[in-house]
């Protein structure tokens, strides 16, 4: 019998490895940027076309590679960062994955140019699908340039799974920001389709955060610093009043490597206990430095999750450090037993004696006298006010005389008694017109029908009503807008502004009017009719958060996501008391919808209870 197991060819093995290393263009960006940082570069350029599908180029001024190294770097399990297995637990560099460049070269056209500082000439290599096309000597500047063209050209199935350019570029920006925040001493530039998106000069961590997340970010930051034998913590947390609904501005760096840790995030949230509203997320940029032998960074393929030796101690230190910073900078309420400066004697009155007040009394004043003195003295005015009594008060009973008559003539007008002589409606109609709907526990609306009754969830019903209204306005391009007397100015970071710019047309169709779009803020001069001015910032933040999580591809799905998010934010919440007219309007509007039975999130809006069901309940 012939053998079944056989070794795979190198190009097939590289394509399989590429599936683990390269999920999307952002994965290539991460690998190349980290290699450039490890090469000791002081300036790194990232050039992207068509969200990385056509071109991803990383240019650095690092130490470069020799002729032999430039060829070996594309071999599997070839790396300059480890020599022994023990080195995995004492890494001071970024990546060490040996198959990274080999995997990228297996699924793209790669062009590499590199030159060392002491060499006069560099090396120019071209690879297409793991196949070496050429290797030449060239005149090049110091450093390395990787150009990755036509990603997934030989794996069309993987290319078809890529999202839209907007979504893929958003992932590239995320990876770019993480590397740039971890290395503020390196200058970074990002170009997309010929336009400069970021130009970050070498600076300090605070300035780097401000350069990436707009100028007003500087007001939000509270410095955090703590040094122990277990960990050294530096960085910034955001003030509680700048907390957002989404988890965008949350960054952990361990030994200059971006990580995700729900355990450490819980420690930060615990430090904000009592300072944040329900559902709000704190922002933070925290840099942790720990001994390399106390962490394991190999538990996740993308190295974004790590395992700490002593997580409990790290949790307690991080929580205490943040709590201390919030209290130290008067962000959190603290007990203060020192004297109150407001109770101190002012400087101008420090050497003056106290003046005793004098009391002047008008001894001739008699409140029971019929008349006052004709000429009151000045003392009477200074002591207390006095009022002149009427010479003769009318008897109050006389005001109501002759009002018991059924009619009277006053200047030619006759007034009839208000005695009700009859009713415009019969008794049955009056009973039916008393009330058609009832509200239970400020949550459900009960309305009688012929077969029984309908119980409506007011929150879900209002979501369905608003959803169909907003979706109609977006698609029909017609909506009413209320102009603001004082325009609103709202600040956002660059990525959030790009997202708002992308959905600007849909928002304008719902009733928003944008007066200005600047590099770090927007100005809104008009709002939809059912939007309150105080809810605008919360509404847009929730909208951005929903779009970032769902990541819509097409214009229709984006319009649908906008309508859903706005409906969820503006819908009547549970616990709000509705008047009878509001209840009736809710019922009528719900059953005028195209799909009244379910909310935009596919949950039932009402249930029906028939008379037969009630009879069965009461059956003995």
pLDDT in tens, 16-47: 666 567 888 999 999 899 989 988 899 999 99
| Average pLDDT score over the chain | 80
Sign of the alpha-carbon dihedral angle for 184, 186, 190, 194: positive
pLDDT in the model for residue 517: 85
Tell me what the mean pLDDT of segment 462-470 comes to: 92
Instruction: Mean pLDDT check: name the lowest of 46-55, 327-336, 411-420, 468-477.
Output: 411-420
Task: Please give the structure tokens belonging to residue 157.
Answer: 């199935």
Task: Please give the structure tokens belonging to residue 216.
Answer: 């007003």
Share of the chain above pLDDT 70, in %: 77
Q: Which helix (H) or strand (E) holds 449?
A: strand 444-449
Q: Residue 420: is its pLDDT beyond 80?
A: no
Q: How far is CA 313 from CA 229, 319, 560, in A?
A: 11, 10, 46
- The 3-state DSSP class for residue 273 equals coil
d(CA 46, CA 178): 14
**Banded model confidence at residue 384, pLDDT cuts 50, 70, 90:** very low
Tell me what the mean pLDDT of segment 333-337 comes to: 57
d(CA 250, CA 286): 8
pLDDT in the model for residue 190: 94
d(CA 608, CA 618): 18
Residue 172 C-beta-side C-alpha neighbours within 13 Å: 30
Sign of the alpha-carbon dihedral angle for 169, 170, 173, 175: negative
Residue 573 C-beta-side C-alpha neighbours within 13 Å: 3
Which of 513, 517, 509, 503 shows the shortest CA–CA distance to 561? Answer: 503
pLDDT in the model for residue 85: 56
Task: Please give the structure tokens belonging to residue 55.
Answer: 């071109």
**Banded model confidence at residue 463, pLDDT cuts 50, 70, 90:** very high
* Helices then strands, each counted (H, E), the chain: 19, 24
pLDDT in the model for residue 172: 93
d(CA 140, CA 606): 71
Q: Residue 433: is its pLDDT beyond 60?
A: no
Domain ranges of the chain: 10-200, 205-328, 444-607
**Strand order across the 606-610 sheet:** 438-440, 444-449, 452-457, 606-610
Q: Which CATH class is domain 444-607?
A: alpha beta
pLDDT tens, 198-214? Answer: 999 999 999 999 999 87
pLDDT tens, 348-361? Answer: 777 777 788 888 88
The alpha carbon of residue 230 and the mean position of all alpha carbons in its chain are separated, in whole angstroms, by: 33
Q: How far is CA 366 from CA 120, 369, 372, 386, in A?
A: 114, 6, 8, 10
As beta bridge partners, residue 489 has 523
Instruction: Mean pLDDT check: name the lowest of 140-144, 314-318, 397-401, 460-464.
Output: 397-401
Helices (H), 189-307: 205-212, 217-220, 262-271
Q: Helix 262-271 and helix 311-328: axis angle, to 10°?
A: 30
Q: Residue 380: is its pLDDT beyond 50?
A: no
pLDDT in the model for residue 42: 93
Share of the chain above pLDDT 90, in %: 29
Q: Residue 313: is its pLDDT beyond 70?
A: yes
pLDDT in the model for residue 41: 92
**Banded model confidence at residue 371, pLDDT cuts 50, 70, 90:** low
Q: Residue 398: is its pLDDT beyond 70?
A: no
pTM of the model: 0.71
Which of 62, 96, 50, 91 shows the shortest CA–CA distance to 77? Answer: 96
Q: Residue 101: is its pLDDT beyond 60?
A: yes
pLDDT in the model for residue 557: 74
Sign of the alpha-carbon dihedral angle for 60, 65, 67, 72: negative
**Banded model confidence at residue 216, pLDDT cuts 50, 70, 90:** confident
pLDDT tens, 481-540? Answer: 888 888 998 888 777 888 888 888 888 888 889 988 887 788 999 988 888 888 888 888
Task: Please give the structure tokens belonging to residue 579.
Answer: 């008047």
Buried b (16+ CB within 10 A) or exposed e, 66-79: ebeebbebbebeeb
Angle at 450 between CA 445 and CA 452, to 5 degrees: 55
Tell me what the mean pLDDT of segment 412-419 comes to: 51
d(CA 615, CA 620): 10
d(CA 89, CA 92): 9
**Is the model more confident about 555 or about 601?**
601
pLDDT tens, 228-278? Answer: 888 999 999 998 888 877 677 889 999 888 988 888 999 999 999 888 877
pLDDT in the model for residue 215: 64
pLDDT in the model for residue 338: 59
Report the topology of domain 205-328. Answer: Ribosomal Protein S5; domain 2 (3.30.230)
Q: Residue 317: is its pLDDT beyond 60?
A: yes
d(CA 525, CA 241): 24
CB within 8 A of 28, min separation 6: which ones? 22, 52, 56, 104, 108, 148, 151
d(CA 314, CA 335): 26
DSSP designation for 12:
H
The alpha carbon of residue 469 and the mean position of all alpha carbons in its chain are separated, in whole angstroms, by: 25
pLDDT in the model for residue 78: 66
Which of 76, 134, 64, 126 shows the shortest CA–CA distance to 101? Answer: 76
Instruction: Mean pLDDT check: name the lowest of 262-271, 281-290, 349-358, 445-454.
Output: 349-358
**Banded model confidence at residue 223, pLDDT cuts 50, 70, 90:** very high
pLDDT in the model for residue 419: 52
d(CA 565, CA 544): 9
**Banded model confidence at residue 179, pLDDT cuts 50, 70, 90:** very high
pLDDT in the model for residue 19: 57
The secondary structure of 184-210 as a DSSP string is: TTSEEEEEETTEEEEEE-S--HHHHHH
pLDDT tens, 112-138? Answer: 999 998 889 999 999 998 888 999 999
Q: Which CATH class is domain 10-200?
A: alpha beta
**Is the model more confident about 182 or about 244?**
182
**Banded model confidence at residue 332, pLDDT cuts 50, 70, 90:** low
């Amino acid at each position: 019998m012939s053998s079944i197991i056989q070794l795979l060819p190198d190009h097939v093995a590289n394509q399989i490895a590429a599936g683990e290393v390269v999920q999307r263009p952002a994965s290539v960006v991460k690998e190349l940027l980290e290699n450039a940082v490890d090469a000791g570069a002081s300036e790194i350029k990232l050039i992207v076309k068509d969200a990385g599908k056509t071109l991803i180029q990383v240019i650095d001024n690092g130490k470069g590679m020799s002729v032999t190294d430039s060829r070996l770097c594309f071999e599997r399990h070839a790396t300059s960062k480890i020599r022994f297995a023990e080195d995995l637990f004492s890494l001071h560099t970024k990546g060490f994955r040996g198959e990274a460049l080999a995997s990228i070269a297996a699924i793209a056209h790669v062009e590499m140019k590199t030159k060392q500082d002491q060499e006069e000439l560099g090396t120019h290599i071209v690879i297409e699908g793991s196949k070496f096309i050429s290797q030449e000597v060239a005149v090049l500047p110091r450093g390395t340039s990787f150009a990755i063209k036509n990603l997934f050209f030989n794996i069309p199935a993987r290319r078809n799974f890529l999202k839209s350019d907007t979504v893929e570029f958003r992932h590239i920006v995320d990876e770019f920001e993480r590397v740039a925040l971890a290395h503020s001493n390196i200058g970074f530039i990002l170009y997309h389709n010929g336009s400069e998106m970021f130009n970050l000069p070498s600076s300090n961590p605070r300035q780097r955060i401000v350069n990436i997340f707009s100028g007003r970010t500087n007001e939000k930051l509270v410095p955090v610093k703590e040094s122990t034998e277990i960990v050294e913590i530096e960085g910034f947390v955001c003030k509680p009043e700048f907390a957002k609904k989404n988890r965008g501005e949350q960054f952990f760096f361990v030994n200059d490597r971006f990580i995700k840790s729900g355990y450490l995030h819980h420690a930060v949230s615990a430090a904000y206990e009592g300072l944040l509203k329900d559902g709000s997320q704190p922002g933070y940029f925290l840099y942790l430095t720990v001994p390399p032998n106390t962490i394991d960074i190999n538990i996740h393929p993308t190295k974004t999750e790590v395992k700490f030796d002593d997580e409990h101690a790290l949790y307690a230190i991080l929580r205490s450090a943040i709590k201390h910073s919030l209290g130290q900078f008067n962000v959190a309420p603290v007990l203060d037993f020192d004297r109150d400066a407001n109770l101190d004697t002012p400087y101008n009155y420090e050497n003056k004696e106290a003046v005793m007040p004098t009391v002047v009394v008008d001894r001739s004043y008699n409140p029971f006298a019929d008349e006052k003195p004709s000429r009151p003295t000045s003392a009477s005015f200074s002591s207390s006010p006095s009022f002149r009594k009427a010479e003769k008060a009318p008897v109050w009973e006389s005001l109501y005389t002759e009002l018991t008559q059924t009619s009277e003539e006053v200047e030619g007008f006759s007034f009839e008694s208000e005695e009700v002589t009859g009713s415009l409606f019969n008794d049955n109609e009056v009973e039916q017109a008393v009330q058609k709907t009832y509200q239970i526990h400020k949550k459900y609306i009960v309305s009688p029908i012929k077969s029984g009754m309908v119980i409506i969830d007011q929150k879900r019903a209002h979501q369905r009503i608003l959803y169909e209204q907003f979706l109609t306005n977006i698609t029909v391009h017609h909506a009413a807008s209320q102009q603001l007397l004082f325009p609103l100015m709202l600040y956002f970071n660059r990525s959030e502004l790009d997202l708002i710019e992308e959905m600007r047309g849909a928002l304008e169709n719902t009733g928003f009017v944008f007066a200005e779009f600047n590099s770090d803020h927007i100005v809104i001069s008009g709002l939809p009719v059912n939007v309150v001015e105080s809810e605008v910032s919360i509404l847009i933040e929730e909208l951005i958060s929903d779009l970032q999580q769902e990541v819509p591809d097409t214009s229709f799905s984006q319009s649908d996501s906008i309508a859903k998010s706005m409906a969820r934010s503006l819908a009547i919440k549970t616990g709000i008391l509705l008047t009878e007219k509001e209840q009736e309007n809710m019922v009528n509007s719900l059953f005028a919808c195209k799909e009244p039975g379910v909310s935009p999130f596919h949950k039932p809006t009402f249930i029906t209870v028939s008379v037969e069901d009630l009879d069965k309940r009461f059956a003995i």
